[in-house]
Amino acid sequence: MKWINEWQLIRESNLLDVEHGEHRVSACLLLSYYHLPHHLKYCFTHCSIFPRGYVINRRRLISQWIAHGFVKPANQVQQPEDVGLAYFDSLLKVGFLQDAEEYQSSSGEVTTCKMHDLVHDLTRQILQDEFLSGIAATDQIKRCRYLSLISCTGEVDSTLFDKVRALYISRSNIAFDKTTNHQYCVRTIILDYIRAASLPLLISKFELLGYLEIYKVNCEELPEAISHCWNLQAIHVISCKRFAIVPESLAKLKKLRTLELVTSNVMTLPQSIGGCDNLQTLYIHDCRLNGIPDSVANIGKLRVISIVFPIYLRRALPSWCPLQHLPQCITLLSHLEYIDLKNCCLLEELPVLDNYPCSCLSSLFVQ
């Protein structure tokens, strides 16, 4: 009955009764949006936080959808990442995402896409005052759920974040009122070119955080405050060249599903990583990793290990000793499906896979 009422509203709205070509295209797009299933509507409007022309990484976008609870597996066998991939393909098929490109980067295989400007504008048109770009002292603050701060400076009114669920901050130098102890309900934070000093204070305010992406931030480590983000499911540290330390407190993140470190100075992972019971994907790309802790054998749900070394490091740092072997204990990982090792020029041995406890391992790539 509900869908009948929805289509009656669409029929009576005369969405296509417009004269100008661009407005007519927008009306057609809006009609296509109304036709989407509800779960895809949420995934689509979430993309409003990105700026125009933003290159969207498919894997990270799906992680964001999962953190917000938009992805609904039909049963316990289905993995949320696989369901999210189907959602992504559906949005691609109807043209709300476009220019999908698969390519081999220095850090492995990557799939990206973009949104047409008119489609991007549609996401914000649909959200209306639930989306806010910039810091504004208006009534719009009271309903803002998607917040994009680009090139903003100064202290932020704490009420701005009261209802925000997704936050994108780029090239901004913002500060919180340090006297407030209010904890916000933000699920996704993407930090792009911000001051490293702002990182601990930002993270400490978002206890319910599910997705954290740090891009080109001049930080050396994840702040200890991250251990209080008990709902954190995905951490992506991208192109932070000074980043070198993953804290031992990582073990407190019992919901963590994905850890991705790309282009950083990380040489070791903490032994405590074995306490991340729900970790399923581990990506270490363009880093200086020299070993994998034996404690990974305790991560029973781990499905993917992808380690890609930058080819220039061996020449630039002759004293560096890269990964030379994988610990035999990874054969205890009964759900491990995929191991990818690239540019591991000094790798001397692989674990003996005889008597491997499960037939899940389907791919082993060594280059």
- What is residue 347's predicted lDDT score, i.e. its pLDDT? 64
- What is residue 366's predicted lDDT score, i.e. its pLDDT? 60
The CATH superfamily of 175-366 is Ribonuclease Inhibitor (3.80.10.10)
Strands (E), 58-106: 98-105
CA-CA-CA-CA torsion for 107, 105, 85, 213, nearest 10 degrees? 50
The model carries a pTM of 0.88
- What is residue 76's predicted lDDT score, i.e. its pLDDT? 84
How far the first Cα of the chain sits from its last, in Å, is 56
What does the pLDDT profile of the chain (367 residues) look like in tens digits? 544 555 455 455 554 455 554 556 677 888 889 989 999 999 999 999 999 999 999 999 999 999 999 999 989 889 999 999 999 999 999 999 999 999 877 666 789 999 999 999 999 999 998 999 877 555 566 788 999 999 888 777 777 888 899 999 999 888 776 655 667 889 999 999 888 888 888 888 888 999 999 999 999 999 988 999 999 999 999 999 999 999 999 999 999 999 999 988 898 899 999 999 999 999 999 888 888 888 998 999 999 999 888 766 555 555 555 676 777 778 788 888 888 887 766 666 666 655 555 446 656 656 6
In sequence order, which ranges of 94-235 are alpha helices (DSSP H)? 117-127, 198-204
CB 156 within 8 A of CB 176: yes
Distances (CA, A) of 158 to 202, 238, 296: 12, 28, 40
- What is residue 26's predicted lDDT score, i.e. its pLDDT? 75
Domain ranges of the chain: 1-35, 175-366
CB 307 within 8 A of CB 284: yes
Strands (E), 156-257: 166-170, 173-175, 188-192, 211-215, 234-238
Which stretch of DSSP H or E encloses residue 262?
Answer: strand 258-262
| Whole-angstrom Cα Rg for the chain | 22
Beta bridge partners of 9: none
